[in-house]
Amino acid sequence: MASQWNVYESFQALLQAGPYHLALEGVLVMCVLWLFTAKKKPSKMVRLTKKEEEDLLADWTPEPLVPQPPPLDHPNLHTRTVYGKAGQYVDLGTGQKLLNLATQSFLNMGERPEVEEAAVTCLHGYGVGSCGPRGFYGTTDVHLNLEERLAAFFNCEAAVLYSYGFSTSASAVPAYAKNGDIIYADECINFALQRGLQASRSRIVYFKHNDPDDLHRLLKEQAIADAKDQKRANATRKFLVVEGVYFNTGEVCALPELVVLRRQYKLRLFLDESVSFGTLGPHCRGITDHFNIPMTEVDLLMCSLELGAGGNGGFCVGTSFVVEHQRLSGLGYCFSASLPPMLAAASIKVVDILEEEGAGLVQQLQDTSTQMHRALTTLHTKVNITGAELSPIKHIRLNESSGDRQSDEAVLRQVVQKAEEYGVAVTVASYLSDREANAPQPSIRITVHKNLTDAQIDTARDALTHAFTDVLG
C-alpha cells in the first residue's frame, strides 16, 4: 500500500540528507540516550557544626503572624461586657443600671414576652441549632414558614433567609453583579454592602451621599460613553445600591428621586432596609412603605433581622426568579449553618406583632426619635448631630476635627466613659477606616427605642451635655 511504511525508501531519504543534518540528529540521539541512562550523583551536603547551627538560630527572627499588631490599650481589645439582658437598661458589671442608647433594638422586641415564649417553645421541639447549611439538612419547616411570612408581609413572591445579618447583603449583591457590570452606590453605605460590592468584582461608582443630582450627573456621563460603544453598552448591566435609612449617617434615602432615575436609565435597584424595617411606613415595611412606592420598583430588597426585629439573621425578598437564584449563588446561604429554628420562630412572632400593631409602633418610635433629636441639638457648641428627625439612629460628631482620626476617636471615647458615669450607655461608632471606601467622620452613635419616656430623654440630654462639657470644656 502507498501509505505503508517502506524501510528502503526511508533509508534512501536518510542518505540524501546532508552531513551536517545527519551529525545534528546523531548528537541529539546521543543526548537523549545519556539523559535516560546517566546516574544522578547525590548533591554534596554541607554539615554544620553545633556552634554554627546555634549561631544561625540565634540570628534568625521569625516573621510575626500579625505584621502590625495593635497596641495593648486598643479599645477593641477591651470591649464592654453586658451582664444580663440588653433591654431598656444595661448592666456593664458595675451593678449600676445604665440607660441603654447603644443597642439597636428600636422596637424593644427582645423584651416582648410573647417573642421569648415563641423562642422557648421552639427550643424544646427543635433544639438549639440546625447544625448544617440550608441545602444539607439545615432546613426546617420553621425556616420555610418564616420565608413565607416575610414574602407575604412585603407583598412579594418569595423570600430567602440568611443566618447572619452581615452576610445577607454581602452575599446577595455578588450573586447577581459580576465582572464587567457597573454598580452605582451611595458613598456612605454600610460596610456589609461595601464587602458585597468588592466581592462582585464589578466597576464601582460612588455618588455623593443621598444626592440624586450627583447620581444623575454620573449616569449622563456613562450614557455619553455608552453611545460611543453601543455593543459594549448593551452587554453591561447597571445596578443601584442604597439603604432605606443609612446606618452610618441616620439619613433617610431620597428614594422617589432614585426611582425616577432607575426608570430613565434602566438600573437594577438593590435596597437595604436593615434600619428602616419596622421603623418607617404605616405598615412597618420600610422606605418603600414610607413613600408609598410599589415593590415592583425594587429588584431586590435586603434586610437584617438584628435591628428592629430584635433577633438574628437576615433575608431578601423579591420575585421568585430573583430570590431562588440566591439558593445556588448566595455564598452566605449555601455554606453557612442555617439560622437556629428558635430564632426563626421568634422572628415569626415579630412579624405577627408588626402586622397587628405596626402603625402604632412606628408612630410611637418616630415621635420618640423626633423628640430625642431635638433634645440633642443643644448639647454643646463644638458638636453637631446628623440624621433625620424620625430616624432611630443619630450620630454626634465634632464640628472641628483635629486632623488625626485616632485623636478624635479618643476624645469621643472619653465622652462615652463620662456619659456612663452620669448613667447613660452610648458607643463610639466603629469604622474600619483602612478598608472603608469612604470612612465617615468619627462619631458617637445614639440609638432610640420606642419606650423612652420624657424623663429618660431629659436624662440622656443632661448626661451627654455634662460629658461633652467635662471633656471639651
Q: For 258-272, what is the mean pLDDT?
A: 94
pLDDT tens-digit series, residues 172-181: 999 999 998 9
Q: List Cα–Cα distances, 370 to 56, 278, 365, 394, in angstroms.
A: 69, 16, 9, 10
Q: Is the pLDDT of residue 1 over 50?
A: no
More confident site: 1 or 99? 99
Report DSSP state, residue 279: T
pLDDT tens-digit series, residues 35-48: 877 766 666 677 88
Q: Is the pLDDT of residue 25 over 80?
A: no
Question: How many CA atoms are closer than 13 Å to the CA of 108, on its beta-carbon side?
Answer: 17
Please report the pLDDT score of residue 473 as a whole number. 80
Q: For 176-196, what is the mean pLDDT?
A: 93
Q: Is the pLDDT of residue 3 over 60?
A: no
Report DSSP state, residue 416: H
Alpha carbon dihedral 122, 123, 129, 132, in 10-degree steps, equals -40
Please report the pLDDT score of residue 98 as a whole number. 92
Q: Provide the percentage of residues in the chain whose pLDDT is more than 70.
A: 95
Q: Is the pLDDT of residue 276 over 50?
A: yes
Alpha carbon dihedral 285, 288, 289, 295, in 10-degree steps, equals -80
Q: How confident is the model at residue 30 (pLDDT cuts 50, 70, 90)?
A: confident
Q: For 377-382, what is the mean pLDDT?
A: 88
Please report the pLDDT score of residue 13 as a whole number. 66
Alpha carbons 203 and 218: distance in angstroms, whole number? 13
More confident site: 4 or 125? 125
Q: For 328-342, what is the mean pLDDT?
A: 89
Neighbours of 78 (CB within 10 A): 9
Buried b (16+ CB within 10 A) or exposed e, 462-472: ebbbbbbeebe
Please report the pLDDT score of residue 39 as a whole number. 66
Q: For 157-176, what is the mean pLDDT?
A: 92
Strands (E), 29-149: 89-91, 97-100
201 Ramachandran zone, left/alpha/beta (phi>0; psi -120 to 50): left
Q: Is the pLDDT of residue 245 over 70?
A: yes
Please report the pLDDT score of residue 465 as a whole number. 93
Burial class (CB in 10 A: 0-12, 13-18, 19+), 167: buried
Q: How confident is the model at residue 76 (pLDDT cuts 50, 70, 90)?
A: confident
SS3 89: strand
Helices 212-228 and 255-265, axial angle in degrees (round to 10): 10
User: Pairing state of beta strands 89-91 and 97-100?
Assistant: antiparallel
Please report the pLDDT score of residue 418 as a whole number. 93
Report the mean per-residue pLDDT for the chain.
Answer: 89
Q: Are 173 and 423 in contact (CB under 8 A)?
A: no
Q: How confident is the model at residue 141 (pLDDT cuts 50, 70, 90)?
A: very high
Please report the pLDDT score of residue 400 as a whole number. 87
Residues near 412 by beta carbon (within 8 Å), at least 6 away in sequence: 398, 428, 442, 443, 444
More confident site: 434 or 320? 320
Kindly list the structural domains of the chain, giving each domain's residue range(s) and its CATH number in brackets, ordered by start: 77-109+358-472 (3.90.1150.10), 113-355 (3.40.640.10)
Q: Is the pLDDT of residue 15 over 70?
A: no
